[in-house]
Amino acid sequence: MNKLKVGMISFAHGHAFSYLHSLLALPQVELVGIADEVKSRVEEVVGKHGLAYYADYRDLLAQDSLDAVVICSENAFHAQLTIDAAKAKKHVICEKPLGLSVEEMKRMIDACDENGVKLMTAFPCRYIAAVVNAKAAIDRGEIGRILAIKGTNRGSMPGNWFVEPELSGGGALLDHTVHVMDLMNWFTGSKVTEVYAYAATLFHEELKVDDAGMIHVKFENGVFGVLDTSWSRPKSFPTWGDVTMEIVGTKGSISVDSFAQKTELYNDDAGKGQYLFWGDSMDHHMVESFVDALLSGAPAPISGVDGLRSAEVALAGYESVKLGQPVKL
Amino acid sequence: MNKLKVGMISFAHGHAFSYLHSLLALPQVELVGIADEVKSRVEEVVGKHGLAYYADYRDLLAQDSLDAVVICSENAFHAQLTIDAAKAKKHVICEKPLGLSVEEMKRMIDACDENGVKLMTAFPCRYIAAVVNAKAAIDRGEIGRILAIKGTNRGSMPGNWFVEPELSGGGALLDHTVHVMDLMNWFTGSKVTEVYAYAATLFHEELKVDDAGMIHVKFENGVFGVLDTSWSRPKSFPTWGDVTMEIVGTKGSISVDSFAQKTELYNDDAGKGQYLFWGDSMDHHMVESFVDALLSGAPAPISGVDGLRSAEVALAGYESVKLGQPVKL
Amino acid sequence: MNKLKVGMISFAHGHAFSYLHSLLALPQVELVGIADEVKSRVEEVVGKHGLAYYADYRDLLAQDSLDAVVICSENAFHAQLTIDAAKAKKHVICEKPLGLSVEEMKRMIDACDENGVKLMTAFPCRYIAAVVNAKAAIDRGEIGRILAIKGTNRGSMPGNWFVEPELSGGGALLDHTVHVMDLMNWFTGSKVTEVYAYAATLFHEELKVDDAGMIHVKFENGVFGVLDTSWSRPKSFPTWGDVTMEIVGTKGSISVDSFAQKTELYNDDAGKGQYLFWGDSMDHHMVESFVDALLSGAPAPISGVDGLRSAEVALAGYESVKLGQPVKL
Amino acid sequence: MNKLKVGMISFAHGHAFSYLHSLLALPQVELVGIADEVKSRVEEVVGKHGLAYYADYRDLLAQDSLDAVVICSENAFHAQLTIDAAKAKKHVICEKPLGLSVEEMKRMIDACDENGVKLMTAFPCRYIAAVVNAKAAIDRGEIGRILAIKGTNRGSMPGNWFVEPELSGGGALLDHTVHVMDLMNWFTGSKVTEVYAYAATLFHEELKVDDAGMIHVKFENGVFGVLDTSWSRPKSFPTWGDVTMEIVGTKGSISVDSFAQKTELYNDDAGKGQYLFWGDSMDHHMVESFVDALLSGAPAPISGVDGLRSAEVALAGYESVKLGQPVKL
């Protein structure tokens, strides 16, 4: 088999570790190396798996045999890294949010198009079993026409560069809108036309970014959506957060609890209850679908435009918060 | 004991039957009679309990010995009936929503004040055990300062005059906002200053009123609220609807599931699952608190202004729907 | 009003504190004093509430004006204390299990009968709202004739004298069978005729008593019961334990989750999730029903025979464990 | 690829339809034909998929090219069919319970051994995602050493030949013990040594077989198990039944709700709530594992001995019911 040669750029976002393990587990992938200017972040995995290390990502991109890169940098660097990879003729899967402005995301998409490489936005939630099955049930017509969707993505406070506005581009409203908004876009097959949002720093007063938000959207096809997005789970909570959706249709409704596949474990070593998730790995399915699309010549299963469509809602949300008014897209 | 003499005006709203049974069960109450222009609505209970019947409510109000009336008419008649009762020097407990415009609710409140009678808005949800205990926990400081509240009041479609706009004044947004909004007002001790809402006729296309809505509010003290309000429960659902709240505070959060005190009953005679509610009767506690306040000379536990504060949010919601913009109160 | 004069004997069992607060809250009760040979156990409450203290319970029983006593000693002393109280012509409410052998429980019952005083077994679970309502639903015939009952009473390990066999008389099988077995007796209106049980020390290997058991019973009227009884909840669990029942009838079934009236609180001060129980106090209702029965001359709402009927099942359970066979009662 | 040639014998058990669809979906399988003496049971699928039909299963077994058969007859015919298939040198997957006596199951196992064919017992529950993951968590040591297991398999009454004792061999105790007992055997890696059971006809008085049972088992390694097994779900229930387990270990506990991957659908066409299961098909995974084992020469993933170990517990349960005593295995 002709293996896909993949490199990874930056482990600033912790998802990189999960993606790394998926890449290592896929027989159709050859991992070319890891680029990260902060060597300490990747030292252990580089050593353990005997991988090539690059302090400068441009040295990785310069490898002729490299087919594609996985970008998990701080949000602020997504655009530069993606555009540089495109120019080096490498396919890209980029961690969400795709970018920090509509203009920069368009440049990313254009750069990939012009250089004939594929751009995928990393939305692993599309690969959650409950989500996949909700989508199939909707497509089978089991709830009729979608009328409204409510969602939540409530997590714990990530700290680190996520709370530095110049690196993250925003707080919980940005970080936790994009996943579920992408699912809303996917389920409705429509496009958000209006956004009304609220955001504030409620739980961690010391932060320079918001840690709580609520976002109202109207879709072109009349569907109405509400999304509860926050960094509100305390340390004593049994898990990092949730992704839930209630999809109301003309004939029925579907409730999605993405992480329902769990066991409650009470163990005095941990000192608190814990959820042991036992479902399939969404990250692995996502990485595999990216790899398979590249090997088979199929389009990226989730496009750069999908990433734009979702991030622009969060960005319009901040605009709405500033104005105290709904904002048209 | 000096009994309180109470009359009932109109059984258009089905809650009247529940209030009647509470009045009959209270030893400190003497039920003077029932006025309803539609005799068929009350014939059975009048006969069964040997009560006086009045075709014209003015004949009931003319009874000198009468102390107070319970008004359960169509929403459109609340104002006239309350004002007439006040002029006849009778105390009033009036079904929600108190009125159909801010102006008419102010006239109701003024009429009661001027005539020295008490006006209570019928918000039985304040007497639900889960709600009472949530309020107490909040007052004890268990969740710190309230940051945000999410609520739902999703019921089945009531049909009848509730879907005639000239009698009801509105659809689900009006019918199902007022209960939970009153609880939000009560819990926060604050006042709504801005409303952004969405409403549509989604589930029952033949209706002339909305049957689904979502309402965003900001309170003077910074609290943010969202309320999901609809007539969306199908006939196959195990119960008529729900009243739930998630109250998020600086130190913790409280989830209120008002009707959690239930048994799931599966019985093939009914052909579907049913919830048997086993908690205390909120209606009875409310009627008793009204009666006891009148007998002891205390203020009405829930005032006319409380009724106004809640209904004006629903009315502003309709304004917001029309404008597509947030509306200031 | 003629107040009931009540004394308390021993605070070895922690329930005594809850009963004390109920007695203090009841206007129809005068608390005469507390007897406890271990002064340190009661010093604080004696001081705080200005109560008389007796090192020797016989000095309390010698008070002529005393009407009744609440006994919360170690299980091994229930019989002696109850019989002495009876001889002193004092009514008794005694913590469960009533006694450690059928013979000694019969002597307790006889002593109370012969001295014309009432004996009540402290089974507060009969006063849980969910239980009260399940009983009422059963009596209304909502599930037809009872066929089978499953129950659980799984708690945390109490330590202290509860794990000293000469003081407690047994482990989890004794401690946690009696509550739910009493409810099974009450619901069925029948009597256990056969017991098959299993017990072992599974969770805390250092204990000299069992901490886990499973008990099968057959009732005279054909009902079949299973009860899961253990000290198995770890420290990280959000609450001390549970009392649940599934009652299966010919027409339907009822699930009782006694402590469903709870709020999940996640607060980093505690470091783990906690359940805040918001329901009524079963202890208070029980103490009040004892007091009211004495004041009105009614029989004790839960008799000594009820206590015997429940404890003899646990005792037969130990016999069954020893024999590896079902045991007839 | 060398395809596996599979035939099906009898569609008396409805699972045959699900197995058929799996066989049709597997590219590595060629479906040779269906044998069923009751032509009407299979006419539709035979026609729809253009399959060969055999009135007499011996004609199917006579096909030289046939590799394996799937047996879904009434329980009473499992032994004869399996032994005949073995003699014809065909591998067998046989619906559970494997047989109706220990002696006949031993003959089935021996016949397959002597003829060099593999015998698999159809226990699809081993392929449920929640079960697979519980097994993996146990094997990883997450709950330490298993102490006790509680299980339920409560379904709706199947009617048909399932309630004819001469065809089924027993009622709910047999039908619904074997699945979860197999899981208990698998999880503990041990063997039941003692069975104490209760069974009765409680829900459907007209039946000649039991429809409710409770079964206690002790394993060689000290683990204790209880299993609630019945045909007790009414028609109004949202699904056919459940398979749940609570596995208690020295370091933690695991709750398995096998069909938690569901959506609650309320749709007035059905007139009641319904659970839409969205998880993977356990039947498909089981059939595939059988096929893959045969193609690769691996042992059957679930053996005939596994089928015997599970069924003998149910059979001993009936013995225990008759004697009113625990029965040694």
- Select the residue of B142, B252, B265 nearest C142 (Cβ to Cβ): B265
Provide DSSP, B69-135: EEE-S-GGGHHHHHHHHHHTT-EEEEESS--SSHHHHHHHHHHHHHTT--EEEE-GGGG-HHHHHHH
Which residues of D make CB contacts under 8 Å with B?
233-238, 266-268, 270-273
pLDDT recorded at residue B175: 95
Provide DSSP, B154-196: EE----GGGG-HHHHSSSHHHHHHHHHHHHHHHHHT--EEEEE
Dihedral-angle region of residue B286 (phi above 0 means left; psi in -120 to 50 means alpha; beta otherwise): alpha
CA distance A44 to chain D (A): 24
Find, in chain C, the residue whose alpha carbon is nearest to that of A270.
C236
β-strand pairing of A253-257 with A244-249: antiparallel
pLDDT(A39) > 70: yes
In tens, the pLDDT along B151-209 reads 999 999 999 999 999 999 999 999 999 999 999 999 999 999 999 999 999 999 999 99
pLDDT band at A267 (very low <50, low <70, confident <90, very high): confident
- Select the residue of B236, B267, B268 nearest D273 (Cβ to Cβ): B236
The label of the residue with tokens 């307790």 reads: C108
Question: Model ipTM?
Answer: 0.87
pLDDT(A217) > 80: yes
Contacts of D192 in chain C (CB under 8 A): none
Contacts of B271 in chain D (CB under 8 A): 235-236, 271-272
Contacts of C214 in chain D (CB under 8 A): 148, 216, 224, 226
Contacts of A264 in chain C (CB under 8 A): none
Mean pLDDT of the residues in chain B:
95
pLDDT(B288) > 90: yes
In tens, the pLDDT along B208-267 reads 999 999 999 999 999 999 999 999 998 999 999 999 999 999 988 999 999 988 888 887
Instruction: Give the residue-averaged pLDDT of A275-300.
Output: 94
CA distance B49 to B34: 11
pLDDT(B119) > 80: yes
Find, in chain D, the residue whose alpha carbon is nearest to that of C143.
D203
pLDDT(A280) > 90: no
Per cent of chain C over pLDDT 70 is 100
The low-confidence residues of chain C, meaning pLDDT below 50, are none
pLDDT recorded at residue A49: 96
pLDDT recorded at residue C1: 55
Instruction: Give the residue-averaged pLDDT of D262-277.
Output: 86
The label of the residue with tokens 């605009």 reads: A319
pLDDT recorded at residue A23: 97
CA distance A195 to chain D (A): 29
Q: Can you tell me whether residue D165 is helix, strand or coil? A: helix
DSSP letter for A284, please. H
pLDDT band at B68 (very low <50, low <70, confident <90, very high): very high
Which of B238-242, D113-117, D316-320 is predicted least confidently?
B238-242
In tens, the pLDDT along C73-121 reads 999 999 999 999 999 999 999 999 999 999 999 999 999 999 999 999 9
10 Å CB burial of residue D82 (0-12, 13-18, 19+) is buried
Per cent of chain A over pLDDT 90 is 91
CA distance D284 to chain A (A): 17
CA distance A76 to A207: 18
Residue D122, beta-bridge partner list: D95
Nearest to A257 by CA among A283, A234, A275: A275
Residue to mutate among A142, A256, A265, with most D CBs inside 10 A, is A265
Residue to mutate among A145, A147, A173, A255, with most B CBs inside 10 A, is A147
pLDDT(A261) > 60: yes
Tell me the HSE value of C135 on the side-chain side, using a 13 A CA sphere: 17
Which residues of B make CB contacts under 8 Å with A?
147-148, 150, 194, 196, 198, 200, 202-203, 212, 214, 216, 218, 222, 224, 226, 228, 232, 234, 248, 250, 252-253, 324-326
Whole-number Cα distances in Å, B13 to A63, B66, B119, D23, D207: 77, 22, 18, 60, 49
pLDDT recorded at residue A212: 95
DSSP letter for C204, please. -
- Annotation: CATH topology of A126-281+311-328: Dihydrodipicolinate Reductase; domain 2 (3.30.360)
- Asked if D304 and D120 touch (Cβ cutoff 8 Å), the reply is yes
pLDDT recorded at residue B3: 94
pLDDT recorded at residue D279: 85
Instruction: Give the residue-averaged pLDDT of A166-179.
Output: 96
pLDDT(B271) > 90: no
- Select the residue of B236, B238, B266 nearest D271 (Cβ to Cβ): B236
Instruction: Give the residue-averaged pLDDT of D288-304.
Output: 97
- Select the residue of C235, C237, C266 nearest A236 (Cβ to Cβ): C266
Task: Enumerate the CATH 3.30.360.10 domain ranges in chain C, comma separated.
Answer: 126-281+311-328
Identify the CATH class of A4-123+284-290.
Answer: alpha beta
pLDDT recorded at residue B267: 79
Contacts of D130 in chain A (CB under 8 A): 261, 278
Chains that touch B (3 or more CB pairs under 8 A): A, C, D
- Asked if A309 and A186 touch (Cβ cutoff 8 Å), the reply is no
- Select the residue of D235, D237, D267 nearest B236 (Cβ to Cβ): D267
10 Å CB burial of residue C246 (0-12, 13-18, 19+) is middle
Query: What are the strands, taking DSSP E only, across D137-251?
Result: 146-155, 192-200, 212-219, 224-231, 244-249
* Contact between chains at A271 and C268 (C-beta distance less than 8 A): no
Task: Enumerate the CATH 3.40.50.720 domain ranges in chain C, comma separated.
Answer: 4-123+284-290
* Contact between chains at C196 and D326 (C-beta distance less than 8 A): yes
Mean pLDDT of the residues in chain A:
95
pLDDT band at A96 (very low <50, low <70, confident <90, very high): very high
Contacts of B246 in chain C (CB under 8 A): none
Contacts of B267 in chain D (CB under 8 A): 234, 236
- Asked if D176 and D244 touch (Cβ cutoff 8 Å), the reply is no
In tens, the pLDDT along C304-327 reads 999 999 999 999 999 999 999 999
Instruction: Give the residue-averaged pLDDT of B71-91.
Output: 98
The label of the residue with tokens 């699900």 reads: D18
In tens, the pLDDT along C245-258 reads 999 999 889 999 99
Q: Can you tell me whether residue B312 is helix, strand or coil? A: helix
Find, in chain D, the residue whose alpha carbon is nearest to that of B235.
D268
pLDDT(A312) > 90: yes
pLDDT(B1) > 60: no
CA distance D327 to D217: 10
CA distance A196 to B216: 10
* Contact between chains at A261 and D133 (C-beta distance less than 8 A): yes
Mean pLDDT of the residues in chain D:
95
pLDDT recorded at residue B263: 84
pLDDT(A132) > 90: yes
- Select the residue of B232, B234, B248 nearest A232 (Cβ to Cβ): B248
Residue to mutate among C254, C257, C262, C263, with most B CBs inside 10 A, is C263
Contacts of C261 in chain B (CB under 8 A): 129-130, 133, 260-261
Find, in chain A, the residue whose alpha carbon is nearest to that of C271.
A236
Provide DSSP, B5-42: EEEEE---STHHHHHHHHHHH-TTEEEEEEE-SSHHHH
Contacts of D147 in chain C (CB under 8 A): 202-203, 212
pLDDT(A1) > 60: no
- Cα angle C171, C176, C180 (rounded to 5 degrees) comes to 155
In tens, the pLDDT along D164-221 reads 999 999 999 999 999 999 999 999 999 999 999 999 999 999 999 999 999 999 999 9
> What backbone phi and psi angles, to 5 degrees, belong to A92?
-135, 135
- Asked if A26 and A287 touch (Cβ cutoff 8 Å), the reply is yes
Instruction: Give the residue-averaged pLDDT of A221-250.
Output: 94
